[in-house]
Amino acid sequence: MVNDIFIQLEVTFSQRCAEPSLLRPAWNGLSQIYPPDLARFRAHSPYMPSTLVAMRSGDLGMAVLWIVQSALIRSIARECSRAGSDTLHNAIRHNEIGSLAHSEKPGNPVILRKSPDGINLSGEKSYITGGLQTHFIVITAREPGGEKISKLAFVPASTLPAHALEDLRFPALKTTGHARLTMRDMPIPAHHILPLEDSRLRRTISIWGLIERAYIMEAFTGFCIYCARKLSSMLPHSTSIEEKLLALLNEQSSLAGGMLDSAMSDTGRVEMKSADIAALFAIAEDLRTTATHNDAHITPDDRLRFADLGLFSMMKIR
C-alpha cells in the first residue's frame, strides 16, 4: 500500500503536471496513508513523508504541498484554537487542501477594512502553494496604514469571486498548481476573522515558516537523490554523489527535527539551521547540467522533473 502510492505518484507525474484538477485525488491518496502531521512522523520515522515522496517518486511539488499542510496550515489552526477559535481547526480535513496566502509585493499589500457595511479585503497575494485546487485559504492582512500584518482571515475557496485566483504558471513544482490571489473590496463574514493577531500572528508565521523551510530543504535533498539515481549512468562518480547526498540528507533531517522540537516546546524559540546548502546547491546544479547535456537521452517525464533542480534560483526571481 505504501509503495503503491509512490509508484502511482511517479507514473502519473506528467499527467498531473498537465491537468491541475488531478491534484485533489492525488493528495487524497497520499494523505490517506500519510496524514499531514509533523509530530506523528517526527516520532516514528527518520524522514518526513514529504522527503519520501520526493526521494521515491520524484514529485517535489507534492512533497512541498505535504509540508505546507503539516507545518503551516495545521500549526496556524492550533494557534487559532489556543487563541479561542476552532473555525480553522473545524474546517480541516486531512484529505482537503488548505493554502496560506502570505507572500505579497510592497506596492499592493492586502488591507482589511471595517465599515458599518461589514469587513472587506483588498490587495494581492502573489504566490499561493496549491492555490488553484485549494479548498480554503488562510489570508494574512494588515489594517489601513499598518506596516506589518496584524489580521488573519479564513476564506472557503468556494466563496471567492470568479477569477480571483490566477494560475501563476510557475516553471517548477508543476504538480502543485500555484496561484495569485487578487481581491477588491471582497466581503468577509466577521466570524471568519480569526483571533490570531498582531505580534502573536507574526511570531506564528515566522516560527512555522522556518520549520517549513527546513523540511523543504530535507525534501529537496531527497529529490536530488532521486535525480542522481535517474542520471547514474551519465554521472562519472554517481556513487560518491549519492553518498554525499545521503550524508546531507541525514544531517538536514537531524537539524530540522531539532528545530521542530524547539517549535513545539514551551519556549517556542527556533533558530534556522541547515546542512551545507552550498554543497547541496552545487550538486543540484551538476545534476541539472548533466541532464541538459544528455537531453536526447532524457524521457519527457524526467525532463519535467529535472526542472525542479533549479527551484531555488527560480524562487529568487519570482
pLDDT per residue as tens digits for the range 152-164: 999 999 999 999 9
Instruction: Give pLDDT, residue 317.
Output: 39
Instruction: Give pLDDT, residue 312.
Output: 86
Domain total for the chain? 1
Instruction: Give pLDDT, residue 3.
Output: 78
Cα 18–157–175 angle (5° rounding)? 20
Q: Which three cell numbers stand for residue 265?
A: 516546546
Residue whose C-alpha is closest to residue 306's, from 22, 68, 58: 58
Instruction: Look up the CATH number of the domain holding residue 153.
Output: 2.40.110.10
Structural domain contains residue 109: yes
Structural domain contains residue 123: yes
Give the chain's length: 318
Residue whose C-alpha is closest to residue 186's, from 159, 148, 166: 159
**Three-class SS string for 43-107?**
HHCCCCHHHHHHHHHCCHHHHHHHHHHHHHHHHHHHHHHHCCCCHHHHHCCCCCCEEEECECCCC
Strands 136-141 and 179-188, by their bridges, are: unpaired
* Domain extent for 105: 97-200
Structural domain contains residue 161: yes
Cβ partners under 8 Å of residue 310, min gap 6:
172, 284, 288
φ/ψ of 186, rounded to 5, equals: -80, 120
pLDDT per residue as tens digits for the range 46-83: 999 999 999 999 999 999 999 999 999 999 999 999 99
Structural domain contains residue 315: no
Instruction: Give pLDDT, residue 94.
Output: 75
Query: Taking a C-beta distance cutoff of 8 angstroms, is the pair 68, 129 a contact?
Result: yes
Structural domain contains residue 170: yes
Structural domain contains residue 166: yes
Structural domain contains residue 111: yes
pLDDT per residue as tens digits for the range 91-124: 998 789 999 999 999 999 999 999 888 999 999 9
Distance between CA 242 and CA 247 in Å, rounded? 9
Structural domain contains residue 160: yes
Query: Taking a C-beta distance cutoff of 8 angstroms, is the pair 51, 40 a contact?
Result: no
Residue whose C-alpha is closest to residue 155's, from 142, 141, 139, 170: 139
Instruction: Give pLDDT, residue 115.
Output: 85
C-beta atoms surrounding 3 within 10 Å: 8
From first to last of its 318 residues, what are the pLDDT tens digits of the chain? 667 999 999 999 999 999 999 999 999 999 999 999 999 999 888 999 999 999 999 999 999 999 999 999 999 999 999 999 999 999 998 789 999 999 999 999 999 999 888 999 999 999 999 999 999 999 999 999 999 999 999 999 999 999 999 999 898 999 999 999 999 999 999 999 999 999 999 999 999 999 999 999 999 999 999 999 999 999 988 789 999 999 999 999 999 999 999 999 877 789 999 999 999 999 999 999 999 999 999 999 999 999 999 998 776 533
C-beta atoms surrounding 297 within 10 Å: 11
Q: Which stretches within the chain are classed as H helix? A: 2-11, 13-18, 23-33, 38-44, 49-57, 60-67, 74-82, 87-91, 198-230, 238-263, 277-293, 300-306, 311-317
Instruction: Give pLDDT, residue 316.
Output: 55
